[in-house]
Each structure stands twice: as structure tokens, then as C-alpha cells.
Amino acid sequence: MDTKILISLVFNITKSIILPLLVSFIYTQGVKGSIGVNYGTMADNLPPPAKVARFLQHSTIINRVRLFNADPEMLRAFAGTGISITVTIPNDQIPRLTNLDFAQQWVKDNIVPHIGATYITRILVGNEVLSTTNKLLVLDLVPAMQTLHAALVEESLDHEIKISTPHSLGILFNSSPPSTGKFRAGYDIYILKPLLSFLQATSSPFMINPYPFFSCSTDTLDYALFRPTIGLLDENTNLIYSNMLDGQLDAIFSAIERLGFTDIDVVITETGWPSRGDAGQSAVDAESAAEYNKKLIQHVTSGIGTPLMPNRTFETYIFALFNEDLKPGPTGERNFGLFEPDLMPVYDIGILKPKAANAAAKKIEHITNTATCLCLLIVLCIFLMGF
């Protein structure tokens, strides 16, 4: 092979493969809106909470964090960061929260000590309670929220801290087309209507965990990943849906509206895409995860909204901050994270601030330079062998 052709080939490979990777990695577009993360800790290799809080504050555009408990160390870690913190009360504590004395003590022990330092803005009572088989929890959910609110009122914190609870899409009896969204019978009138009344009265949002990843098939993968498609026509409204997330959100909106509520905000408490999975799973890789989460951020912060909820942004919490190696279940459950334990991105979705992105990019630049030198060395060896 001609030496000039070989050199050209080597540099073209470097230019077309390695450099785009670097550019993609340091991509950091400005994002306006409320982008948060779910900070889970089911792992044995995570950095200390204080280090995580500083990293999120100084190196990312993330301005909201959802915690899965009220761990005082984690709450102290976020003191002074200005990051909005959502605290979650585990499902098993819900029955006790219906007791006012317990709720008052819980607030005094877990919330009051951090007021003025840590920016706590929301308390979630349980997680996906209405999708459990525990009827006691289901029946206690709204009373627990009401009692906890009364405890916040006593501390004059009810305007500063709002109460809600996240739901899975399993609360829907029907979701397609979106305009036919309806809550499950029995739950709609006896649980969700009182819950919506509480949210309306306290100016709190309805919180939902939509996961297009769990709902898509090979045929609907492009639709789930925000790729160009012909879309889905809702014949009842003549509205066209260009992505699965919009359809899921509007199905929830329709179900809420069906119960007579039109002024309650919808917040995305969890959504994400795993970067690794089990054998046989399609589109479970870093490329697909990056594509979903990057386009998710662009979409929910764009102000476009959805067909039934136009011209708005959506407060959104990506699941999750870290890969969690101790989580049970399929491989994908342990690989929803945006960052490795050393705080390097699993993949880039544009949430690093420029300084942090540049620091991370230097590592890839070193790899790129090394690879280029290696390519040149190979060319030189081939050239010398020709003599």
C-alpha cells in the first residue's frame, strides 16, 4: 500500500472515530429548566455524600435531587448548595404517619434541624404505593399525607415544603390513545380523587414515574427514543404524538382531568434508560441511554410541552445519579446511572458545566493523543519495512 494512502487512512480513522467521541463527550449545551436526579445509595462503592453534593453544585447543571430517605448525613451534605432537595419517606412508615404525634415528631427530627441550611422543598410519602398489593398502605396514603401536612403547618413550613407521592403508570386503566387515559376503577374515586383534592388545596404537584424503556418494543424503539417517526395519531383529538413520553404524560393528564382537576402540575419523578442489560435485550447500551436522556432534557426544558399540555416545561428527575451494584433484579436495574463512583460520566448528556467537561475531556484527549501516536508509529514501522 502506498505510504501516503496509509497515512491518510490512519488520520481519517482518527478524525472520524476518535475526535467525534471527544466532541460528544464535552458537549455541554445550556439548559434552562428544572433538571434533577434520583440519588440512590444501594451500592458499596459510592463517594461520600459531601463529595457528591459539591460535585453536583460546582460541576453540573443539576439543580434538584431526590433522596430515597431522610438520612441526616445526606441532608447536611447539601447544606449551602442551593440545590432543591426532595425527601422520601419509605412505604413502611406510612401507617405510622397517620398518627399526628408521630408525624409531628418525624418533622421535628428529620426536617426542622436542616431548615435554613439545606433547601428542602418537598417530602414524598412513599413510592408507587398504589401499585403495591398492600391494601393498608393504599388506604393510609392520603391520611398520612394530610397528617404530615398538618405537622408542617404547626412548624410554619407548609408554604416552603410541599407533600406529594410518586406513582407508576400502573395506576392507569387505559392509556392509549392518550385522550382516553383513565385511572383504575375503585382507585379513581376512593383514593385518587381525595389525593388530587389534597394536592390542589396545598398547591402540590402530581408526581409520575414514566419509563418509555419499559413500555417499548422493537417496533416502537424509535418512538421511545425521540427519533423521527410518523408519530401516533389520537383520533379523538386529532393530535399527533411524536414520542412515547408525551403520550404517557398526556394519558396521566387525561385521567386527572377526567376526575375534574385541570390546575395541578405534573412532575416527572423518575425516568431513565439503562446503559447495560442482560443478553438478548435490544437497545440496552450506553448509546441508547445517552440518546434518551439527552433528548429527554432537551424536550422537557424546551417549553414545547405535550399535545395536551402545550407551552410548558416539566420538572424532571432522571433515574439515576449512580449505577447501584447492590440493587436486586436484572442487570439493567443496576445500570441506570449517569455517573461512575469516581464521578466520571457513564456517558455524556450535556449536564456537565464547561470547566468540569473540560477536565473530563482531558482524560479522553490523552487517550486520543496516545492513539494518534500509536497510529503514526505503525505507519512508520510499515514505511521502514518497505526499505
Catalytic residue among 73, 128, 257, 324: 128
Alpha carbon distance 263, 195 (integer Å): 14
- For residue 307, pLDDT beyond 80: yes
Q: Would you place residue 317 in the very low, low, confident or very high pLDDT band (cuts 50, 70, 90)?
A: very high
pLDDT range class, residue 87, cuts 50, 70, 90: very high
Query: What pLDDT does 353 receive?
Result: 94
Spot the catalytic one: 155, 270, 287, 324: 270
What distance in Å separates the CA atoms of residue 232 and residue 228, rounded to the nearest whole number?
12
- pLDDT higher than 50, residue 350: yes
**Sign of the C-alpha dihedral computed for residues 69, 80, 317 and 50 taken in this order:** negative
- The answer to whether residue 20 scores a pLDDT higher than 70 is no
The mean per-residue pLDDT over the stretch 132-157 comes to 98
% of the chain exceeding 90 in pLDDT: 82
Which CATH architecture is the domain 29-352 placed in?
A: Alpha-Beta Barrel (3.20)
Q: Using the predicted structure, report yes or no on whether residue 17 has a pLDDT greater than 50.
A: no
Q: How many residues does the chain have?
A: 387
Measured in degrees and rounded to the nearest 5, phi and psi for residue 42 equal -85, 65
CB 152 within 8 A of CB 163: yes
Residue 15 has pLDDT above 60, yes or no: no
Q: What is the mean pLDDT of residues 202-212?
A: 99
* pLDDT score of 292 more than 60: yes
pLDDT at residue 34 in the model:
87
Secondary structure in 3-state letters for 304-333: CECCCCECCCCCEEECCCECCCCCCCCHHH
pLDDT at residue 22 above 50?
no
Residue spans of the domains in the chain: they are 29-352
Told to judge if 235 belongs to the known catalytic residues of this protein, a careful annotator would answer: no
Which candidate, 24, 73, 18, 29, places its Cα nearest to that of 50? 73
Mean pLDDT score, 69-97 = 99
Reply yes or no on whether 128 is catalytic: yes
Residue type at position 107: V
Contact by Cβ (8 Å): 353, 73? no
User: Residue 43: is its pLDDT beyond 50?
Assistant: yes
Strands (E), 224-334: 232-234, 239-241, 266-271, 316-318
What percentage of the chain carries pLDDT values higher than 70? 83
Alpha carbon distance 324, 336 (integer Å): 8
Model confidence at 383, in pLDDT bands (50, 70, 90)? low
pLDDT, tens only, 245-276 = 999 999 999 999 999 999 999 999 999 999 99
Q: Is 299 helix (H, G, I), strand (E, B) or coil?
A: helix
**pLDDT(3) > 50:** no
Q: Is the pLDDT of residue 5 over 70?
A: no
Task: State the average pLDDT over residues 308-332.
Answer: 98
| Res 373 pLDDT > 70 | no
Q: Can you give the pLDDT at residue 120?
A: 99
